[in-house]
Amino acid sequence: MEKTVIELESAAQMLKLLGDKTRLTIMGLIKDGESCVCEFVEVLQMSQPSVSQHLRKLRDAGLVKERRRGQWIFYSVNRNHPTYPIVQQVLEQIPDQREKLQALEEAGLRIQCDL
Amino acid sequence: MEKTVIELESAAQMLKLLGDKTRLTIMGLIKDGESCVCEFVEVLQMSQPSVSQHLRKLRDAGLVKERRRGQWIFYSVNRNHPTYPIVQQVLEQIPDQREKLQALEEAGLRIQCDL
DNA sequence: TCAGTATATTAGCATATGCTTATATTTGCA
DNA sequence: TGCAAATATAAGCATATGCTAATATACTGA
């Protein structure tokens, strides 16, 4: 496994994207899973368009992947992104956001997205 | 050595600051040393006020320390910052910026800052 | 085919950001 | 004391960013 140097420019772009509380939380939520937009909206308590716009930025940069499944679109971390090694380390060192998804589940609010 | 969780908010703030090519380069330049403003100006090929303003942001956030030495002010990474573990890992994975300082030295341009 | 749900997109606006130009401050030295 | 060098600060401006409100698109199921 070679160690690849991450270009400064792409590193800066990725850091800028993670440098936003909303987007950093989104990445933390899907650090090893996937979630659909309605879940982000619930967890983040933000408007759907606002969440969509953040997701678009992450997707345009290639940091997340999307996968349509019926009516829902699921987002997950793109582990093939050149900067993924850093992304991963960042996500390991912030508080676990996935607990918030579990809370959703307990409240029965996650069911609608199960397909 | 306990593992301290870095708060999401402070992580986001730090990532945002590093998410700028100029500031990321500055951090890379001093990742294990210190430099004065005139060196940054030379290496980055930017105006002195612009560099000063970037340094101020880094200092206001506590990511760098400053140390006056005569006419010059030297900046270095603050290793006691709560987010330093992430900062360090980021800096380890981008191209080494210190070569640019060596180039300066070879060009004799670093002499003025030796005190 | 039509209505409902999930998501995306667009326009508009307020605020944040980064640069330049001009000026202030601090220090060293003659 | 006074000038030059290094650095900081402030004001002004153009662009970027993130939100809301409104609308468009895509899919599902009756």
Give the mean model confidence (pLDDT) for residues A85-89: 97
> By the 8 A CB rule, do A107 and A50 touch?
no
Give the mean model confidence (pLDDT) for residues A64-84: 97
Q: Band of the pLDDT at A3, cuts 50, 70, 90?
A: low
Strand partners, B35: B75
Q: pLDDT tens digit string along A97-115?
A: 999 998 887 776 554 454 4
* % of chain A surpassing 90 pLDDT: 82
Residues of A with CB under 8 A from a CB of B: 5-9, 11-21, 24-25, 28, 85-86, 89-90, 93-95, 97
CB-CB under 8 Å, B16 with A24: no
Predicted pLDDT at B114:
44
Q: pLDDT tens digit string along A38-51?
A: 999 999 999 999 99
Residue B23 sits at φ, ψ, to 5 deg, of -70, -35
Domains of chain B: 8-103 (1.10.10.10)
Q: pLDDT tens digit string along B51-72?
A: 999 999 999 999 999 999 989 9
* Residues in chain A closer than 8 A to B19 (CB atoms): 12-19
* Cα gap B77→B88, rounded to integer Å: 9
> Which of B11, B93, B97 lies nearest to residue A24, judging by beta carbons?
B11
* % of chain A surpassing 70 pLDDT: 90
Is residue A33 over pLDDT 60? yes
* Residues in chain B closer than 8 A to A94 (CB atoms): 5-8, 11
Q: pLDDT tens digit string along B69-88?
A: 989 999 999 999 999 999 99
Q: pLDDT tens digit string along B30-51?
A: 999 999 999 999 999 999 999 9
Predicted pLDDT at A19:
98
Is residue A1 over pLDDT 80? no
Strand partners, A69: A72
Give the mean model confidence (pLDDT) for residues A17-35: 97
* C-alpha gyration radius of chain A: 14
Quickly give A69 CA vs C13 C1' distance in Å: 35
**What is the token pair recorded at B47?**
């105006």
The helix or strand, by DSSP H or E, that contains position A36, with its residue range, turns out to be strand A34-36
CB-CB under 8 Å, A14 with B28: no
Name the one residue in this structure whose structure tokens are 């004799």.
Answer: B108
> By the 8 A CB rule, do B12 and A18 touch?
yes
Predicted pLDDT at B115:
41
Is residue B92 over pLDDT 60? yes
Nucleotide nearest to B55 (CA to C1'): D8
Question: Cβ neighbours of residue B13 under 8 Å, at least 6 residues apart?
Answer: A19, B61
Strand D positions closer than 7 A to protein CB: 5-11, 17-22, 26-28
**What is the token pair recorded at B12?**
């986001």
* Residues in chain A closer than 8 A to B57 (CB atoms): none
Between helix B84-92 and helix B8-18 the angle, nearest 10°, is 40
